[in-house]
Chain A
Amino acid sequence: MSHALEIKSLEKTYKGGFQALKSIDLTVEKGDFFALLGPNGAGKSTTIGVITSLVNKSQGLVKVFGYDIDTDLEKAKSFIGLVPQEFNFNQFEPLMNILVNQAGYYGVERKVAIERAEKYLKKLALWDKRDDAARMLSGGMKRRLMIARALMHEPQILILDEPSAGVDIEVRRSMWDFLRELNSQGITIILTTHYLEEAEMLCRNIAIINHGIIVENTSMKTLLAQLDVETFVLDLSPHDKKITLTDTDYRVTDDHTLEVDLNKNQNLNHVFQQLTEQSINVLSMRNKSNRLEALFINLISDKTATKKSTKKVN
């Protein structure tokens, strides 16, 4: 069975000699929600550029749903929807025209394209702006327009390069919901992002790239399991007591918030028991969301020199 995306020994050296990709291997399964993370200049956008044929590769194999981009480029392209990092639509063109023309490039009949444009413009809260020139939109709206545009030919794989850049938290969260919905419909999603919380919340599998090398490629669960210590944030009911916990590190960050660091071999019951004994009620609890960040920093600093063997994910 073919993969949604299969990359083998991919290399890219730009004119001037800069080697952006150094023989990377990557496999993304159908229906996956996949994160491709890395610092600026790591090779994320080059990888996406090669997959979408905006960048000519120097060497290697890229297959999209089994179609080799060297021999079946047009077929491979037909599976992909791309939301690039930079706004790349005609700023003077009305939204409706941008979407309908884009569908036309994929051979979608105009009548069908108009129906789809209406569907996605409404879904992404842009319907009222359909006749406006794209330059009139806010940053968040432009980002949503690019998502709508990428969906016009109903792709099987959606690639989003930094979709949350410059987007406020409200729009970001509604975008996350929409992406989850698309993924639940079977669309494979590949996401690059600087917001590690975003990758942690959305993605099931992850690859980390640095200096053109894949330094980690595994499931999010496996990656997070590498953490020796996990931090929990507890929201407490109002109290006037001095909190004391034994056998664990903790911080009282304000009157009603407690952060507790637990090792893998510790459990929360021990913390709850101690708080109960001190007549302190826990109202709610969550993971502190920088778990992936800690791993990320560790991986890109320690493993860059050592290319890890690619693991098949999912």
Chain B
Amino acid sequence: MNNAIALKSILTKETQRFLRIWVQTLVPPAITISLYFVIFGSLIGSRIGEMGGFDYMSFIVPGLIMMTVITNSYSNVASSFFSAKWQRNIEEMLVAPVPNWVIVAGYVGGGMARGILVGLIVTLVSLLFVDIQIHNVWVIIATVSLTSATFALGGLINAIFANSFDDISIIPTFVLTPLTYLGGVFYSISLLPDFWQGVSKINPIVYMVNAFRYGFLGISDVNIVTAFLVIGFFIATLFTVAMVLISKGIGLRS
């Protein structure tokens, strides 16, 4: 059994899926992010002044890109895997000699592909509004890759447990969006009182946004090494949970 071919097949299928419906998957983030730039960057941002030593527009760009990557990585896997369960075409993989890690890696890879592609599109759109500087390209690549993997795994676990399409919108609406907005996308957590800074540091998205911002601007509210350790911890934990769930056939096998 050639696992590389199986993995490539799942990745191909997943990529074909979101490219086939590009009007639903690729265009909306570009439009949404343009509105963020116009409203928060140009109109309101010009009155805010500097944040972290940079003009407000430059400060929020990395956070907005990361927010898009997080949302798209998560929702891609959540909707694709749940649809596969709902239409029962997940059985195509379950009856085949595909190891569980290949199924997990394939779906996560698909989520990462969409998250990163949308991130690139949003980055290109942001160039229309602001000159982007790059402090450390490797930190940018590592952060975006690991963050998209983290949330793709989260989306997969959500889809495994989901019994209806409502179930795959609850977590993004009630958990992901608040964590993202409170994750330092629009502000530096150093502006918060000490207590709320401490609370913010429980939020993993703070580490992801700040590590990503460090890659562009060279500034961060958290230690970069700590940020990567936190992201690594979440990936390892979520991967383990996903593997256990799929191995036991939770939500997949009777």
Contacts and interface: CB of A to CB of B under 8 A. Distances in A.
A54 B89 contact: no
Given A74-B1, A77-B96, A80-B95, A49 B87 contact: no
B97 interface: yes
A107 B95 contact: no
A135 B95 CA distance: 22
Given A55-B253, A89-B87, A90-B89, A74 B97 contact: yes
Interface string B89-115: 101111111110000000000000000
A310 interface: no
B89 to A, nearest CB: 5
28 contacts: A53-B94, A53-B253, A54-B253, A55-B254, A56-B249, A56-B253, A74-B1, A74-B97, A74-B99, A77-B95, A78-B97, A80-B95, A82-B95, A88-B88, A88-B91, A89-B87, A90-B87, A91-B87, A93-B17, A97-B13, A101-B9, A101-B13, A104-B9, A104-B12, A105-B92, A105-B96, A105-B97, A107-B6
Contacts, number: 90
A74 B93 CA distance: 11
A77 B91 contact: no
A84 interface: yes
Contacts of B249: 56
Contact of B5 (A52, A53, A73, A104): A104
Nearest to B106: A105
Given A49-B254, A92-B20, A101-B12, 4 more contacts: A54-B95, A93-B17, A105-B93, A149-B92
A103 B96 CA distance: 9
A84 B93 CA distance: 13
Interface string B1-34: 1110110111011001100100000000000000
Interface of A: 14, 46, 49, 52-56, 73-75, 77-78, 80, 82, 84, 86, 88-93, 97, 100-110, 149, 153
A88 B92 contact: yes
Contacts of B5: 104, 107-110
B84 interface: yes
B126 to A, nearest CB: 32
Nearest to A12: B254
Which 3 A-B residue pairs are closest in the complex by CB-CB distance?
Answer: A104-B9, A107-B2, A74-B97
Interface of B: 1-3, 5-6, 8-10, 12-13, 16-17, 20, 83-84, 87-89, 91-99, 249, 253-254
A231 B62 CA distance: 82
Contacts of B89: 88-90
A106 B253 contact: no
Nearest to A88: B88
A97 B96 CA distance: 16
Given A54-B254, A74-B97, A107-B2, A84 B91 contact: yes
A93 B80 CA distance: 12
Contact of A52 (B6, B13, B87, B95): B95
A89 B87 CA distance: 7
Contacts of A78: 1, 97
Given A56-B253, A107-B6, A102 B96 contact: yes
Q: Which of B16, B83, B88, B95 has the most CB of A within 10 A?
A: B95
Contacts of B95: 52-54, 77, 80, 82
A14 B254 CA distance: 7
